Amino acid sequence: MKIKVIGAGLAGSEAAYYLAERGEEVELWDIKPKKFTPAHSDKNFGELVCSNSLKGKDPFSNACGLLKEEMRILGSLTMEAADFAEVPAGGALAVDREKFAEYITRKLKSHRNISVVCGEADKVPEGWAVIATGPLTCGGLAEDISRLCGGALHFYDASAPIVSRDSINFSKCFLGDRYGKGGDDYINCPLDKEEYDAFIDALLSAERADLHDFEKGEIFEGCMPLEVMAARGRDSLRFAMLKPVGLTDGNGGKFYAVLQLRKENKEGGAYNLVGFQTNLKFAEQKRVFSMIPALKNAEFLRYGVMHRNTFINSPACLNADFSHKAFPRLFFAGQITGVEGYVESAASGILAAVHMYRKLKGQGQSIPENTTVLGALSRHISSVNENFQPMNANFGILRAPEIFIKDKKRRYAYMAERALRDITEYKQKLDTD
């Protein structure tokens, strides 16, 4: 019996390698080098398209750095390749992209348990399979995935920024829902006229991120960026995502404009800036959005992004082990599941392979604890969420510490130590089951 892995990006490469290393026969499908997507140009597997950076290295201050260490414990091919191809980049893990992709390709093509098929899958395979076709999935395969997952795929990623709850200035905001409905679900961040005008001026002059030509029309028709809407009139945001109507702080106060923050996860450690889809560069988002008084010292766990990104409504159709709820032998991995970023995509490939291997061996489901980044991402893609959007690694999605730690540096270090302990125990369980 051969397991089919469709897509040889980071997620598919991780899944294929993990399974093959454990003696499973893997058939790895990829369209390259016969065909390339609009974003790809390297014939090798594991191509890094947008950047050569895999983000921060320090596991005790950076959640993506912590995720890297968790992946290393599970035997990650991506981390092995990154260590081989690393180039100096201060506190970040950056790589020589060509050497990185060549390393992954060489390991996969030379593996005795992996056969490579250069071809384009036009439908979901029957039998044991991992779909890891990435954010540009299209054609017959996209249509088949859509059919199996209960509706159209999201063909662009228009995500608002997310901030840490601990970094919000609660002396400059208040809790409550519009017109008093629903309790205290939202954190409301008011602006007076002077603050609003300064915010609009900064927003309109901020530098925007570049888009691929094939993305531009699709994205801007699908979701209006904050800065584009603001350019249509200075008060346009006050009648949209910053409207103050129906909001009160309980003291009879009236506001010129109000940004609402919505809880991003059940733990309540992260909050979404409602309606703030944007195409500003990350540094500009930090500068401009921090002008809102309640967010003056905000820690951004994820910045807003707008680019083509095919992903399924995972909470509706996937289990926490990345398997399809109705087709237990079918697994998904990578950005198509709703994880965001190189490292996160690779991590989901490992998780899908871990769970598939356990299922093949008749072992029970075993999800990492949500004290780990791997466990928190597993729960993100499988927990009920009416506003499901892609998520990257951040401390806000992990279970809060059992003890109160006010200092952020100490709190993150505590959470990292706990995560590394728990993922080590998880690896030991995998090895002994």
The β-bridge relationship of strands 53-56 and 92-95 is antiparallel
Cα separation, 122 vs 136, in Å, equals: 14
Cα separation, 289 vs 277, in Å, equals: 12
Report the pLDDT value the prediction gives residue 41, as an integer from 0 to 100.
55
Helix axes 63-73, 373-380, angle to 10 degrees: 100
Report the pLDDT value the prediction gives residue 381, as an integer from 0 to 100.
94
Looking up tokens 């490469």, which residue turns up? 13
Cα separation, 255 vs 194, in Å, equals: 12
Cβ–Cβ under 8 Å, residues 175 and 187: yes
Residue 219's contacts (CB-CB under 8 Å, 6 or more residues apart) are 156, 158, 211, 279, 306, 307, 308
- What's the one-letter identity of residue 166? D
Helix, coil or strand: residue 341? coil
Looking up tokens 């294929």, which residue turns up? 16
Edge-to-edge strand order for the sheet containing 129-131?
114-118, 25-30, 2-6, 129-131, 330-332
Q: Quote the pTM value.
A: 0.72
Segment holding 356, helix H or strand E: helix 342-360
> Where are the alpha helices (H) located in 125-225, listed in sequence order?
139-148, 193-205, 216-222
Cβ–Cβ under 8 Å, residues 370 and 398: yes
Provide φ and ψ at 80, rounded to 5°. -60, -45
Per-residue pLDDT of the chain in tens (433 residues, 90 and over written 9)? 799 999 999 999 999 999 999 999 999 999 877 665 555 556 789 988 766 789 889 999 999 999 999 999 999 999 999 999 998 777 889 888 889 999 999 999 999 999 999 988 889 999 999 999 987 777 788 888 888 887 656 655 567 898 999 999 999 999 988 877 666 778 999 999 999 999 999 999 999 876 655 445 555 444 678 998 999 999 999 999 999 998 888 777 789 999 999 887 667 788 889 889 888 999 999 999 999 999 999 999 888 877 666 788 899 999 999 999 999 999 999 989 989 889 999 999 999 999 999 999 999 999 999 999 999 999 999 998 877 888 889 999 999 999 999 999 999 999 999 999 999 999 999 999 8
Provide φ and ψ at 114, rounded to 5°. -120, 125
Give the burial string for 68-103 (b: 16+ CB within 10 Å, else e).
bbbbbbbbbbbbbbbeebbeeeeebbbbbbeebbbb
Report the pLDDT value the prediction gives residue 38, as an integer from 0 to 100.
55
Token readout for 121 is 């899958």
Cβ–Cβ under 8 Å, residues 166 and 268: no
Report the pLDDT value the prediction gives residue 222, as an integer from 0 to 100.
47
Domains of the chain: 2-155+309-432 (3.50.50.60), 161-307 (2.40.30.260)
Supply the DSSP symbol for 115.
Answer: E
Q: State whether the Cα torsion 365-366-368-369 is positive or negative.
A: positive
Report the pLDDT value the prediction gives residue 42, as an integer from 0 to 100.
63
Task: Give the count of beta carbons closer than 10 Å to the beta carbon of residue 197.
Answer: 14
Report the pLDDT value the prediction gives residue 176, as an integer from 0 to 100.
86
Segment holding 170, helix H or strand E: none
**CB-count exposure of residue 227 (10 Å: 0-12, 13-18, 19+):** buried
Element counts in the chain: helices (H) and strands (E): 13, 16
Cα separation, 250 vs 168, in Å, equals: 20
- What's the one-letter identity of residue 365? Q
Report the pLDDT value the prediction gives residue 269, as an integer from 0 to 100.
85
Cβ–Cβ under 8 Å, residues 38 and 218: no
Provide φ and ψ at 324, rounded to 5°. -75, 135
Supply the DSSP symbol for 32.
Answer: T
The β-bridge relationship of strands 129-131 and 330-332 is parallel
Segment holding 6, helix H or strand E: strand 2-6
Supply the DSSP symbol for 168.
Answer: S
Cβ–Cβ under 8 Å, residues 124 and 148: yes
Written as one string, the DSSP assignment of 222-238 is: HS--HHHHHTT-TTGGG
Cβ–Cβ under 8 Å, residues 31 and 90: no
Cα separation, 117 vs 31, in Å, equals: 8
